[in-house]
Structure 1
Amino acid sequence: MNSAELVFVPAPGMGHLLSMVEMAKLLVDRDPRLSITILIMKLPFDSELDSYTSTLATSVDAARIRLVHLPCVNTDTKISSGACLNRLVESNKPHIKRAVDDLADSIGSTRQLVAFVMDVFCTTMIDLADEFGVPSYVFFTSSAAFLGLMLHLQSLQEEQHVDITEYKDSAAELDVPSFANPLPAKVLPSVVLTKESVQPFLEHAKRIRAIKGIIINTFDGLEPHALGSLAGLGAPTVYPVGPILNLKGESKKKVDGGCRGDDIMEWLDEQLPSSVVFLCFGSGGSFRENQVKEIARALERSGHRFLWSLRRPPPKGKFDVPRDYVDPAEVLPEGFLDRTVGIGKVIGWAPQAAVLAHPAIGGFVSHCGWNSTLESIWFGVVVAAWPLYAEQQFNAFELVVELGLAVEIKMDYRKDFGMETDIVVAAEEIEGGIRKLMEEIDSERRKKVKEVSEKSRKALAEGGSSYMSLGHLIEDILSNMP
Structure 2
Amino acid sequence: MSTLEQSTLIDSLILHTTCVHLQDLITESDTNMQKAARLVFIPSPGVGHLASTIQFANLLINRHDSLWITVLVTKLPSDTTTAVYTDSLHSQRLQVINLPESSSNSKQTTMKELLDLQKPHVKQAVTNLTPAPPLAAFVVDMFCTTMIDVAKDFQVPSLVFYTSGLAFLGLVLHLHTLREEGKAEFTESNRELVIPSFVNPIPPAALPSIVVSKEWEPFFMEYARGLKNADGIIVNSFEELESHAAHSFLHGPQPIYPVGPILKPKPEIHVNDSDILSWLDQQPPSSVVFLCFGSMGAFGEDQVREIAHALENSGARFLWSLRKPSPKGPGSMNPPSDYAPSDLALILPPGFLDRTAGIGKIIGWAPQAQILAHPATAGFVSHCGWNSTLESIYFGVPIATWPLFAEQQSNAFLLTRELKIGVEISLEYRVELNTLLSAEKIEKGIRNLVEIDEEIRKRVKEVSEKSRKTLLEGGSSHSNLGRLIDYIMNQV
Q: Is the pair's TM-score, using the shorter chain for normalization, greater than 0.5?
A: yes
Identify the residue that residue 229 of structure 1 maps to in structure 2.
248
Cα distance in 2 between the residues matched to 1:77 and 1:365: 38
2:387 equivalent to 1:368: no
Match of 1:470 among 434, 457, 481: 481
Greater relative CO, 1 or 2 (CA 8 Å, sep 6+): 1
The partner residue of 2:438 within 420, 426, 451 is 426
Match of 1:22 among 55, 61, 66: 55
Out of 200, 218, 223, the residue aligned to residue 204 of structure 1 is 223
Q: CA deviation at 1:78?
A: 7.3
Deviation at 1:42, TM superposition (A): 1.0
Give how far 1:75 is off: 5.6
The answer to whether the 8 Å contact 2:187/2:214 transfers is: no
What count of residue pairs does the alignment treat as equivalent? 455
Matched, 1:127 2:127: no
Task: Quote the residue 1:338 is aligned against.
Answer: 354
Query: How does the TM-score come out when normalised to structure 2?
Result: 0.88
User: Which aligned pairs between 1:149-298 and structure 2 lie closer than 5 A?
Assistant: 149-159=171-181, 161-163=182-184, 166-168=185-187, 170-232=189-251, 234-250=252-268, 260=272, 262-298=274-310
Alignment equivalent of 2:325, drawn from 310, 313, 325 = 313
State the SS of the aligned residue for 2:431: coil
Give unmatched runs, 5+ long, in structure 2. 1-33
Deviation at 1:117, TM superposition (A): 0.5
Opposite residue 313 of structure 1, the aligned amino acid is P
| CA distance in 2 between partners of 1:316 and 1:162 (Å) | 36
Query: What corresponds to 1:257 in structure 2?
Result: none
Counterpart AA for 1:304: A
Runs of 4+ displaced beyond 4 Å = 75-79, 250-253
* Residue 299 in structure 1 maps to residue 311 in structure 2: yes
1:449 aligns with 2:460: yes
Distance 2:442 2:106 in 1: 32
Q: Residues 388-403 of structure 1 correspond to what in structure 2 (within 5 A)?
A: 388-403=404-419
Question: Do the aligned partners of 1:385 and 1:411 also contact (CA within 8 Å) in 2?
Answer: yes
Q: Percent identity?
A: 55
**How far is 1:261 from its partner?**
5.2
The answer as to whether partners of 1:42 and 1:73 remain within 8 angstroms in 2 is: no
Deviations 1:138-162 (A, max 9, x none): 1110010011011101110122x13
Match of 1:256 in 2: none
Shifted more, 454-463 versus 426-435: the winner is 454-463
Aligned partner letter, 2:178: L
Instruction: Find the counterpart in structure 2 of residue 358 from structure 1.
Output: 374
CA offset at residue 251 of structure 1?
8.6
Q: 1:119 and 1:192, CA in 2 relative to 1: closer, same or farther beyond 3 A?
A: same
Contact 1:3 1:35 in 2 (8 A): yes
Q: Is the alpha carbon distance of 1:319 and 1:127 closer, same or farther for their aligned partners in structure 2, counting shifts above 3 Å? A: closer
Compute the RMSD of aligned alpha carbons.
Answer: 2.0
SS of 2:81's equivalent? helix
Q: Distance in 2 between matches of 1:50 and 1:431?
A: 41
Which stretch shifts more, 317-326 or 186-195? 186-195
Distance 1:203 1:346, change over 3 A: same
Shift of the 51–42 alpha-carbon distance from structure 1 to 2, 3 Å rule, reads same
With over 3 angstroms needed to count, the CA separation of the structure-2 counterparts of 1:406 and 1:128, relative to structure 1, is: same
Residues 52 and 251, structure 1, Cα contact 8 Å, conserved in 2? no
3-state SS of the aligned residue for 2:143? helix
Shift of 1:48: 3.1
Unaligned runs of 5+ in 1: 254-259
